[in-house]
Amino acid sequence: MYLCFFCPPFERQLCLTFDLLRDLKELPSIYDRRLAACGKLESAETSLLSTAAKLRRKALKKANGAGDPSPSADPERNVALAERLVPREKRPSHRLPAGFMPFSLPLIGKKVDTIDWCRQEIAATTGLLTKGRQTLADEGLAVPEDVNGDGKVDKNDRVKQTYPVLNSAFVTFNQQIAAHLAVNALTHHEPYCMADRYLEVSPPDVIWGNLGLNPYEKRIRLAISYGATAALIIFWAIPVAFVGIISNIEGLCVRESWLAWLCKLPSPVIGIIQGILPPVLLAVLMMLLPIVLRLFGRFEGIPTYTGLELSLMTRYFIFQVIVSISFINAAQFCSR
């Protein structure tokens, strides 16, 4: 599925690449699982080595009193030695998530030896990935034909495959101008068919999960995501107003009788609540906003990270205009 840039430079000038994208179903998640297991194994091995080094240094100190291990006998060079040095109960371990939960909790769930578990997990996922890739290579790509004989080629004619082709493709042209022309020209007469074309795509920039969306579905997602953005912007005013109230505790405890206890607090506490808390809370709120808006953009079906950032800019601009200008002006007007 990945766009391959391995063609030699002299050929690259002449070639036109097509990459039809396929629905890989569970393969990406297996791949993610393997990547996570690799990272976990690496950190577990490192912590095992550091424990081994510590134990060894202690043992040497006890043995000859001097305690400066010669670098040639460095346990970090030898994992087998490290595994012999570290007792079973001191090896790194973690807990598996119990039952249906997606994450593990500190006390519930089966406790496993991290290194052994990671090795098993990596082996298992590698097996699954190899099998999936083999299926992918065996099936090849079929040319769509009018299989069911209804006079037109549509998605009902698709050959049943384990990993069907997605409805998007990467096209590499010989000349740059061809790429720009292809992006700007109307390609298909039917509405929304091949309507979304993107220039200058590169593999690290692509959001692979958003490549197989139906164009109509994409429009609906656009509407939903902007609706959610509007709702978020309006309801964001509530925490912002709360922060504003906090910053004026002294006025608050005079005006509201049930909050009179606030004035009886020692003055450093009031100072902290009034002085430090509001800016921190506001900063946290403003930090969370781009994360949420980026999630909305991804939900919308934007297939590149650059496009995602641009959509974030648009949404953030709308937010700034509405919250920073309108709400604050309205608040000032009301307080007059």
Partner 1 sequence: MQHFTTVRQLHLVNPAYSRSVQANTILVTGIPAKHLSEPALRQLYSHLPGGVKKVWLNRCVPLLFLSTFRTTVVFDL
Site for partner 1 in 284-303 (CB under 8 A): 303
DSSP class of residue 190 equals S
Contact pattern from residue 252 through residue 291 relative to partner 1, giving x for each residue in contact according to CB under 8 A and a dash for the rest: ----------------------------------------
Phi, psi for 123 (deg, rounded to 5):
-65, -45
Which stretch, 30-38, 257-265, 271-279, 290-298, contacts partner 1 (CB under 8 A)?
Answer: 30-38
Token reading at 167: 């409805």
Contact pattern from residue 172 through residue 201 relative to partner 1, giving x for each residue in contact according to CB under 8 A and a dash for the rest: xxxxxxxx-xxx---xx-x-xxxxxxxxxx
N- to C-terminal Cα separation, the chain: 62
Token reading at 198: 């993107």
SS3 321: helix
Q: How far is the CB of 101 from partner 1 (least distance, A)?
A: 27
Question: Among residues 187, 220, 203, 197, which one has the least CA distance to residue 300?
Answer: 220
User: What letter represents residue 293's amino acid?
Assistant: L
- Our finding on whether 104 is near partner 1 (CB under 8 A) is no
Q: How far is the CB of 165 from partner 1 (least distance, A)?
A: 6
CA pair distance 130, 167, nearest whole angstrom: 25
- Our finding on whether 17 is near partner 1 (CB under 8 A) is yes
Q: Among residue numbers 110 through 169, which ones bind partner 1 (CB under 8 A)?
A: 119, 122, 126, 129, 133, 136-137, 141-144, 152-155, 157-158, 165, 167-169
Interface pick for partner 1 out of 273, 304, 305, 322 (rule CB under 8 A):
304
Which stretch, 55-63, 208-216, 314-322, 327-335, contacts partner 1 (CB under 8 A)?
Answer: 208-216
CA pair distance 172, 179, nearest whole angstrom: 7
The contacts of residue 71 (CB under 8 Å, 6+ apart) are: none
Token reading at 81: 């030695």
Q: Which residue's CB is nearer to partner 1, number 171 or number 252?
A: 171
Contact pattern from residue 67 through residue 96 relative to partner 1, giving x for each residue in contact according to CB under 8 A and a dash for the rest: ------------x-----------------
Total site size for partner 1, rule CB under 8 A = 82
Sign of CA dihedral 127, 133, 134, 135: positive
- Our finding on whether 4 is near partner 1 (CB under 8 A) is yes
Q: How far is the CB of 296 from partner 1 (least distance, A)?
A: 19
DSSP class of residue 256 equals -
CA pair distance 329, 93, nearest whole angstrom: 56
